[in-house]
Amino acid sequence: METRREFVKTSVLSIGLAGVTKGTFADAGTKQKETNNEMKRYQGGISPWALVLNTSTIRPAPNLLEKIKIAHETKWDGIEPWINEIEDYEKQGGNLKDLGKQIKDLGLIVPNVIGLWDSMPEGEDAFKTSLEVNRNRMRMAADIGSLHIAAIPAPDKENIDLKWCSHCYKELLKIGEEEYGIRVVVEFVGFFKGVHRLGQACAIALDADDPRACILADTFHLFRGGSGFSGLELLQGKFITHFHWNDVPGDVPREEQGDAHRVFPGDGILPLKDVLVTLKNIGYTGCLSLETFNREHWKQDLKVVAENGLKKMLDCVKLSGV
């Protein structure tokens, strides 16, 4: 790929040194950077975002190695595991750094791991106790090469103290970055009593007063928690580091929907086309991760489920025209 220096040199030769100003160099560099960004696409040029398989979609597969194999064979760009799967792999004698190398050698990325449970308990003593477990979870996620790990604002309760959650998140963010080289991201859960809305997750991240603060969004949780999707237009793309992608049925009231109601993109009622256009407009550059917990899918051949899921994801991106 042409470097900026090479580009500028070529531009100078073509227009003559006499016509080159400081502004000319700056404009050329900006245009080349924009061109390079446009060229960064996945799935044979179809998607501007890497498409990732969250292991919940194929949860009944016997172990993490089998899930990685399915993701690779069905041509996903990456895999998003759950922390219990990584813990089980290590308990059974597996070396996580070796596993990370295997994943990379297969051409897969690990953008995120789910996650840091009970990461924001009430009270300093309880929080410090929780760090014993969550430090190890950060270590394990980093060992397999994950870029992020999601912090779930739990234990869940009504009237949760967002200021306290922000205090906990600030410390988690610092520990993750400085001790393990992994970024902790705030995830909100639409059916929680506490942090179930986009605005609450944003408040936790913003009030941490750290430029590395960020959130994880999910189409199901945006719908289920009542946030909707217009608020995404007000965010900078870099503030969202990861996005779970799925759809919901139209025959179940919003307030009654749970994880098991999630369906493939395009099989439900969510305005996914519009959301993708919004993500492109705000400069989102993370991944789209298919995360479903569909019990009917779990009864099927899981490789076929993964294949169908990727097709649905690609159809969704194509339909949006991004």
Question: How does DSSP classify residue 45?
Answer: T
Q: Above 80 in pLDDT, residue 190?
A: yes
Same domain, 188 and 153: yes
Burial of 59 (0-12, 13-18, 19+ CB in 10 A): middle
Q: What mean pLDDT value characterizes the chain?
A: 91
Q: Give the model's pLDDT for residue 40.
A: 79
50-60 average pLDDT score:
98
CA-based nearest residue to 246, from 231, 266, 273: 266
Query: Where residue 188 sits, what CATH number does that domain have?
Result: 3.20.20.150
Contact 169, 151 (CB under 8 A): yes
Same domain, 236 and 284: yes
Using the structure block, give the residue that is written with the tokens 């060992």: 143
**Each residue's pLDDT tens digit, 88-97:** 999 999 999 9
Same domain, 23 and 131: no
Tokens of 286: 């993370």
144-150 average pLDDT score:
98
Query: Alpha-carbon distance 5 to 84, whole Å?
Result: 47
Same domain, 56 and 2: no
Helix, strand, or coil (residue 177): helix
Instruction: Give the DSSP H/E element, type plus range, for residue 101.
Output: helix 96-105
47-68 average pLDDT score:
98
Query: Alpha-carbon distance 70 to 67, whole Å?
Result: 5
**Sequence-distant (≥ 6) Cβ neighbours of residue 228 within 8 angstroms:** 222
241-263 average pLDDT score:
98
Q: Give the model's pLDDT for residue 13.
A: 32
CA-based nearest residue to 131, from 164, 163, 90, 172: 172
Q: Give the model's pLDDT for residue 3.
A: 41
Domain count, the chain: 2
Same domain, 231 and 244: yes
Q: Above 70 in pLDDT, residue 35?
A: no
Q: Give the model's pLDDT for residue 294.
A: 98
Same domain, 230 and 291: yes
* Structural domain span for residue 246: 44-320
Q: Give the model's pLDDT for residue 129.
A: 97
Same domain, 28 and 152: no
Write phi, then psi, for 79 (nearest 5 degrees).
-135, 145
If phi > 0 it is left, if psi is from -120 to 50 it is alpha, else beta; for residue 107 that is: left
Same domain, 27 and 51: no
Q: Above 70 in pLDDT, residue 16?
A: no
Same domain, 204 and 70: yes
Q: Above 90 in pLDDT, residue 34?
A: no
Q: Above 90 in pLDDT, residue 6?
A: no
Q: Above 50 in pLDDT, residue 72?
A: yes
Cβ atoms within 10 Å of 208's Cβ, excluding its own: 23
- Work out the angle at residue 176's Cα, subtended by the Cα atoms of residues 172 and 180, and round it to the nearest 5 degrees: 155
54-76 average pLDDT score:
98
Same domain, 32 and 174: no
Mean pLDDT lowest among 29-33, 102-106, 311-315? 29-33
Q: Which residues of 124-163 are buried (b: 16+ CB within 10 A; e: fewer)?
A: eeebeebbeebbebbebbbbbbbbbbbbbbbebeeebebe
Same domain, 185 and 51: yes
Question: How does DSSP classify residue 176?
Answer: I
Same domain, 109 and 230: yes
Q: Is residue 2 very low, low, confident or very high in pLDDT (cuts 50, 70, 90)? A: very low
